[in-house]
Structure 1
Amino acid sequence: MSKFCEMCGKGKAHGGCITRKGLAKKAGGIGMHVVKNVKRTFEANLQNVRINEGGTVKTVKMCVRCIRTGNFTKA
């Protein structure tokens, strides 16, 4: 099974963790400076759910946001 939500298609998102150093301008400093930018991936919160689809029971991966909506019938 892939790492995507079966209902909405949510998957990995790419981003970064920016490290800043210095005193902010409004606190009297010369401003915050970017020291490091670490690339990382944000994984979707996927859970295995057994659903009843057309009279058959199957296991799918769903993100928690889609599980909360309740637009499916649990098996």
Structure 2
Amino acid sequence: MAQICQVCGKGPQFGNNISHAHNISRRRWNVNLRPVKAKVEGGAKRIRVCTRCIKAGKIVKA
């Protein structure tokens, strides 16, 4: 399942792991998503929302 917030559209970011010996490998930082039952278009629906949207009050919990 895609690691994308269904409210703001935030997705994973990419970068590098750098070891003490300066070996470089790719890594990714995933979004902190939570399944939330929210009011969407009048009805209750389970959506995956990042914690920043939950804290900001961008959703109304059902």
Q: Answer whether TM exceeds 0.5 for this pair.
A: yes
**AA in 1 matched with 2:30:** E
Task: Using structure 1 for the length normalisation, give the TM-score.
Answer: 0.71
Match of 2:13 in 1: 13
How big is the shift at 1:54?
2.7
Aligned CA distance change for structure 1 residues 19 and 2 (closer, same or farther; 3 Å): closer
Stretches of structure 1 that go unaligned for 5 or more consecutive residues are 22-34
Distance 1:2 1:38, change over 3 A: closer
**Structure of larger gyration radius:** 1
With normalisation by structure 2, the TM-score equals 0.84
Q: Where in structure 2 are there 5+ consecutive unaligned residues?
A: none
Runs of 4+ in 1 over 6 A off after TM superposition: none
Q: Across the two proteins, how many residue pairs are aligned to each other? A: 62
Q: Considering only aligned residues, what root-mean-square deviation do their CA atoms show, in Å?
A: 1.6
Q: What is the percent sequence identity of the aligned residues? A: 34
